[in-house]
């Protein structure tokens, strides 16, 4: 029971802080458009991010059972932690908040005739969303550890937060930076646990796979 509560708590924190990248990219891409196109760009950007998360979630649950993939995933998650650390230090949450508010205000940002097409903005958003959606799904899948109910909750929460509360979340993270630091600590813990399982698990760990250790059975699910 305690482990399940901890998992849900980790999911909430991870979803909160990993929504920042998406908010920044979507807001900046939309702010460069003519005012009449911005709301559509933000909406389409959110839809693209949601679809990518669903696709990556399906792929991740399949791939994480392949020997060695869990360890590789942990290395990627540590890289996400390093990137997040730099973003917190550089005040990216504040920039994300400003970008979203600018995009939502027709009197701010670029207000001239269209100089950038909707298609160009969406291509930029999609390219950036591929990496960010993978980050989010990887963290959620690692925390869920095979529990489909927790995975669905984490995925659904990420989509809801991104669609309805992005600006509010950015304001929260800007006003209370300790939330971002707490999130970073949680992700580091998740990455470390993922690497531990990815090395020692007798079914999918690289240790037993390479003959370095015997490994042992690690039960999936909480």
Whether residue 70 has pLDDT greater than 70? yes
Residue 81 placed within a domain: yes
Count how many domains the chain has.
1
Residue 77 placed within a domain: yes
Measured between alpha carbons, how far is 180 from 62 in angstroms, rounded to an integer? 30
Model pLDDT for residues 169-208, shown as the tens digit of each residue: 777 777 787 888 888 898 899 889 888 888 888 777 788 8
Residue 108 placed within a domain: yes
Residue 159 placed within a domain: yes
Read out DSSP for the chain? -HHHHHHHHHHHHHHHHHHHHHHHHHHHHHHTS-HHHHHHHHHHHHHHHHHHHHHHHHHHHHHTTSTTHHHHHHHHHHHHHHHHHHHHHTTHHHHHHHHHHHHH-TTSS--SS--S-HHHHHHHHHHHHHHHHHHHHHHHHHHHTT-HHHHHHHHHHHHHHHHHSHHHHHHHHHH-HHHHHHHHHHHHHHHHHHHHHHHHBTTT-HHHHHTS---B------
Model pLDDT for residues 159-173, shown as the tens digit of each residue: 888 766 666 777 777
Measured between alpha carbons, how far is 31 from 112 in angstroms, rounded to an integer? 12
Whether residue 115 has pLDDT greater than 70? no
Whether residue 106 has pLDDT greater than 70? no
Model pLDDT for residues 34-56, shown as the tens digit of each residue: 777 777 877 888 888 888 888 88
- Residue 25 near residue 125, CB atoms below 8 Å: yes
Which pLDDT value is given to residue 214? Answer: 77
Residue 222 placed within a domain: no
Residue 21 placed within a domain: yes
Q: How many CB atoms lie within 10 A of CB 73?
A: 23
Which pLDDT value is given to residue 31? Answer: 67
Residue 100 placed within a domain: yes
Residue 216 placed within a domain: no
Q: Domain of residue 79: give its range.
A: 2-210
């Amino acid at each position: 029971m305690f482990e399940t509560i901890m998992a849900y708590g980790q999911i909430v924190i991870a979803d909160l802080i990993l929504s920042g990248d998406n908010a920044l990219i979507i807001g900046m891409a939309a702010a460069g458009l003519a005012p009449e196109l911005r709301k559509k760009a933000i909406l389409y950007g959110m839809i693209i991010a949601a679809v990518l998360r669903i696709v990556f979630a399906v792929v991740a649950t399949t791939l994480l059972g392949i020997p060695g993939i869990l360890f590789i995933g942990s290395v990627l998650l540590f890289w996400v932690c390093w990137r997040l650390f730099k973003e917190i230090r550089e005040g990216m949450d504040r920039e994300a908040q400003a970008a979203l508010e600018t995009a939502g205000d027709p009197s701010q940002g670029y207000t001239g005739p269209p100089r950038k097409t909707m298609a160009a903005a969406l291509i930029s958003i999609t390219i950036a969303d591929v990496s960010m959606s993978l980050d989010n799904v990887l963290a959620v899948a690692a925390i869920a550890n095979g529990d489909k109910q927790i995975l669905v909750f984490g995925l659904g929460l990420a989509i809801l937060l991104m669609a309805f509360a992005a600006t509010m979340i950015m304001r929260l993270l800007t006003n209370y930076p300790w939330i971002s630091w707490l999130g970073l600590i949680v992700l580091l813990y998740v990455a470390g646990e993922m690497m531990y399982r990815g090395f020692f698990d007798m079914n999918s760990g690289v240790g037993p796979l390479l003959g370095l250790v015997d490994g042992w059975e690690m039960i999936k699910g909480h």
